[in-house]
Chain A
């Protein structure tokens, strides 16, 4: 049955899509909440089962469980072709892990029109899954845009006062840059060899990898693709949408945005950019790495003086993602392996940060760093969670980020020592801003605000506990992830000639 009638990849797409559409019709807010979390758990279960069949290299027969292709638009050589490879497994797992955690941690939140809220959330999950599993450029573009639409509605409908303008800016940035990528996709498509008899060209990933592009053409195509991915990541100087959206958006959407959606940009660069334009990636690597490093230092410096907790997290995210941008373009094994691992690590770490900030804001009604003080006295368990997550964000040994950041710095060091030295300052800055935040929030004398923070609920403890499990687990034993992505990384490196 499996592999003949359906595959894991399809299930990961259809479960959130179908349940998301159904959710719009469940008017009772409590029922729709339960429905959404059950759907997310079902996706998670599928994803975990899929992981047990992920060793395609040693068991080629597993391939049919994941990869599938249907005829879609044969006359232009596009097919509904989806599947998972090493990076795909990891990121679909991150996606399916994040949604139940998000739903559970915000279980107590009440939304107006809960049915639309949860419906849109599940649709966004379907869109994001699609981006990670599409093996066809046109399909990839479809999902790339479709992931954006539910998030646009979510952030514009539920959130704070200036949410509409902030989200609109984000939308226009992304829409314009994706259209530029579309022009690039069309151009590359017209230079691909034929794969099917019906059409002279093909949109399939393999056709794109084999496209005959002169170095001169790659030079400008590179920037068309770069625009789309760099806005999503975001890489300096295209980051200006992010603090506003993170500040004004509602927590669950922002969690989706920061934990998963920004990874779409990194993912896109690794799968759809550097292997297609190896020559341009080489000639512009320095420029992109310098931009990324400027982003690290600049964002870290702002995070250091940021007073609003949500904006604070936004800037730390820009700093971390900057390092990932640099890690991609060093184009060596250490750097790439580090980026892929960091995508997962950063996803769970930032999710935990958001959950903690959400709890604090719910309880005290304030999210200004300087107004809060001494929370540790009133809520020791929250303090323990936050300190562990803060350490993970800094990248202390034994936490997950240590491994991935070490690998990225190692890769950067092999590429260029000066870049590596400047980028390491990001780690120093990150310990400064993280510890400053922890210090203000949890230590010091309790004030009247910290009185309101009681013990956190059992559900939230479980959610944070699960995340801590990943933080420590992958910090001590990252081997499973490396095994998963090993072949993928060497495949990409073979294409970019690194």
Chain B
């Protein structure tokens, strides 16, 4: 509860603050202060000290899972603000508003992981999405950005419609006539047609939100067209929150009839892994490549939905955290660069050693090389999937896709270290020493969680 209320309040504060802030650099500090405050409040609640006691009639539920995941989301946001604060200022003149919208997104994210009724799931997803439509199009002069925003809005509205239809069918179909996801818990008896149709629509709608194939078509264009700072935010924090909402819904409400809809998830997982990885190989722009690779990472996170056991939950949390840290770090570097293509990365290891080495660690983590959290995340989701004892081919298929992933991630590493720099590229990169140290800390976190994943996982069972 702390997080939801405080993010909403802070969003308003930032919005009105825009009137009073004289310098463009001020909002950044307010945003960082705000997210630290929210993080602290959330941790307080985690240890049993909620600041607000509001009776939501069980529509929101704050358990250890939710609060732990909130902590991860806000920590990632803090990291994101620290690394990218200065670049958000460059997006456009309304700096304060951008931050304000991000706080509203966080509010939506907090709702969509702690919902207990389908209505609040819908609200959470919408609160999360609408500010993003604006943020995507925040560079008004950029045609590509406008296209992305419009596309995102249309696709998003469309998928929300499908989601809502699914919710309506589930509501009408269950014998209790209830929106509460724990009450809906469908038994293993005969399944009404309405429920079946509702489940399919929910899967489709949520797959849109997490950009799983074949509902991923908006993702590359939007991630590529939006300003890179915003893409980084959307690909990490927003996506992992949507994933947790997705898994939570299907675990509580439809977990006992897992067998009925599992095949659909398997097909989506396989398609997501395949399409994401294969298409990413052919990209010349690193930014667009990361957009496709984020689809393939969605495929790995879909394994949580396929396995649906306690290891799967651990795996999802770990994977989401590792993927977010690495992507935020990598995007922070990309934002600084003038050329997003593979050529732009040429010789980075020589011209900017600090950026080169940290980018390499982020890429190694995304590939899933041991000693990085990317590996432990992959290991856990694969462990969860093998534990089910069924459909081992899917796991084999996934590791083959992971090896394809190595192809495009390592192409960037090759550019960084083994190719000579292009004349005139990356000469005037402008970043502070603090930024450099922050990157090193981010990279150190990746290795730390890679060696000791318990630092993240253990809190689930606190």
Complex-state Cα separation, A182 to B375, whole angstroms: 11
Tell me the bound Cα distance from A164 to B412 in angstroms.
12
Q: A164-B414, A182-B399, A190-B386 are in contact. Are A175 and B371 (CB under 8 A)?
A: no
**Interface majority SS (helix, strand, loop, mixed), chain B:** helix
Interface centre among B410, B452, B454 (most CB of A within 10 A): B410
**Known contacts A73-B453, A75-B457, A157-B417: A172-B386 contact under CB 8 Å:** no
Chain B residues closer than 8 Å to A332, beta-carbon distance: none
Chain A residues within 8 Å of B452, by CB: 73
Report the nearest A residue to B357, measured CB to CB. A24
Interface 9-mer from A142-150, A288-296, A298-306, A457-465 = A142-150
How far is it, in angstroms, between the C-alpha of A186 and the C-alpha of B387 when the chains are bound? 9
- In the complex the two chains form, is B418's CB within 8 Å of A179's CB? no
Q: Does A284 contact B (CB under 8 A)?
A: no
The residue that A190 contacts in the complex, of B387, B399, B406, with Cβ under 8 A, is B387
- Name the CB-closest residue of A to B367: A175
Q: Which of A145, A171, A172, A175 has the most CB of B within 10 A?
A: A175
Q: For residue B364, which residue of chain A has the nearest CB?
A: A149
CB <8 Å contact, B382 and A172: no
In contact, B370 and A141 (Cβ under 8 angstroms): yes
Contact B387 A183 (CB under 8 A): no
Q: Known contacts A75-B454, A141-B370, A190-B386: does B417 contact A156 (CB below 8 Å)? A: yes
Count of interface residues, chain B, beta-carbon cutoff 8 Å: 28
Do A183 and B399 touch (CB < 8 A)? yes
Residue pair A187, B386 in contact (C-beta under 8 Å): yes
C-alpha gap A171/B371 in the complex (Å): 17
| A175 B454 Cβ-Cβ under 8 A | no
What are the interface flags for A178-195 relative to B under an 8 Å C-beta threshold, 1 for contact and 0 otherwise?
011011001101100000
Say whether B289 faces chain A, with CB atoms less than 8 Å apart: no
Chain A, range 50-97, C-beta contacts under 8 Å to B = 73, 75-76
User: Is residue B379 within 8 Å, beta carbon to beta carbon, of the partner chain?
Assistant: yes
The docked-state distance in angstroms from the alpha carbon of A171 to that of B407 is 9
Q: Does chain B have a CB within 8 A of A153?
A: yes
- List residues of chain B with CB within 8 A of the CB of A189: 383
Which residues from chain B contact A145 at a C-beta distance below 8 Å? 369-370, 375
| Also in contact, A153 and B417, with CB within 8 A (given A141-B370, A171-B410) | yes
Residues in A whose Cβ lies below 8 Å from that of B454: 73, 75
Q: Once bound together, how far apart are the Cα atoms of A172 and B364, in whole Å? A: 14
Asked whether B427 is an interface residue with its Cβ less than 8 Å from the other chain, the reply is no
A203-B414 Cα distance, complex, nearest whole Å: 34
The answer to the question of A168 belonging to the interface, with a C-beta cut-off of 8 Å to chain B, is yes
A156 contacts which chain B residues (CB < 8 A)?
A: 414, 417-418
> Is A176's beta carbon under 8 Å from chain B?
yes
Most buried by A among B370, B371, B392: B370
Residue of B371, B383, B400, B407 with highest tally of chain A CB at under 10 A:
B383
Q: Is the CB of B418 within 8 A of A176?
A: no
Checking A149, A153, A176, A186 against B386 with a beta-carbon cut-off of 8 angstroms, the contacting residue is A186
With A73-B454, A145-B369, A183-B396 as given contacts, are A172 and B407 in contact (CB-CB < 8 Å)?
Answer: yes
Chain A contacts for B387, CB-based, 8 A: 190
In the assembled complex, which residues on chain B have CB atoms less than 8 Å from the CB atom of A153?
417
Interface centre among B386, B392, B453 (most CB of A within 10 A): B386
Within 8 A of A (CB), among B408-424: 410, 414, 417-418
Report the bound CA distance from A296 to B402 in whole Å: 33
**What separation, in Å, do the CA atoms of A286 and B4 have in the docked complex?**
65
Q: Is the interface of A mostly helix, strand, loop or mixed?
A: helix
Flag if A175 contacts B418 (CB, 8 Å): no
CA–CA, A452 to B383, complex, Å?
A: 60
How near does chain A come to B362, taking the closest CB pair, in angstroms? 15
Contact A168 B403 (CB under 8 A): no
- Residues of B with C-beta under 8 A to A172: 403, 406-407
From A141, A142, A176, A190, B400 is in contact (CB under 8 Å) with A176
Q: Contact string, B376-412, partner A, CB cutoff 8 A, digits 1/0?
A: 0001001100110000100110011011001100100
A171 touches B406 (CB 8 A): yes
Complex CA–CA separation, A65 to B458 (angstroms): 33
Bound: A156/B457 CA distance, A: 36
Query: Which residues in B have their C-beta under 8 angstroms from that of A186?
Result: 379, 382-383, 386
Whether the Cβ atoms of A175 and B406 lie closer than 8 Å is yes
Nearest opposing residue in chain B for A168, CB measure = B410
Would B369 and A179 count as touching, CB distance under 8 A?
Answer: no
- Residues in B with CB closer than 8 Å to A76 are 383
Find chain B residues with CB under 8 A from A176 CB.
Answer: 399-400, 403, 406
In the complex, the chain B residue whose C-beta lies closest to that of A163 is: B418
Q: How far is it, in angstroms, between the C-alpha of A186 and the C-alpha of B379 when the chains are bound?
A: 9
Q: Which residues of A contact B414 (CB under 8 A)?
A: 156, 164, 168
- CB-nearest residue of chain B relative to A165? B414
Chain A 128-166: CB-based contact to B (< 8 A → 1; otherwise 0) = 000000000010011001100100010011000000100
Known: A186-B382, A187-B392. 7 other contacts (CB 8 A): A145-B369, A145-B370, A149-B364, A172-B407, A179-B400, A182-B399, A183-B386
Closest 4 CB pairs of A and B: A176-B403, A179-B399, A142-B370, A145-B370
Can you name 25 A-B residue pairings with CB atoms under 8 Å? Answer: A73-B452, A75-B457, A75-B458, A138-B379, A141-B370, A149-B364, A156-B417, A156-B418, A164-B418, A168-B410, A171-B406, A171-B410, A172-B407, A176-B399, A176-B403, A179-B400, A182-B379, A182-B382, A183-B395, A186-B383, A186-B386, A187-B392, A189-B383, A190-B383, A190-B387
Using a CB–CB cutoff of 8 Å, the interface residues on chain B facing chain A are 364, 369-371, 375, 379, 382-383, 386-387, 392, 395-396, 399-400, 402-403, 406-407, 410, 414, 417-418, 452-454, 457-458
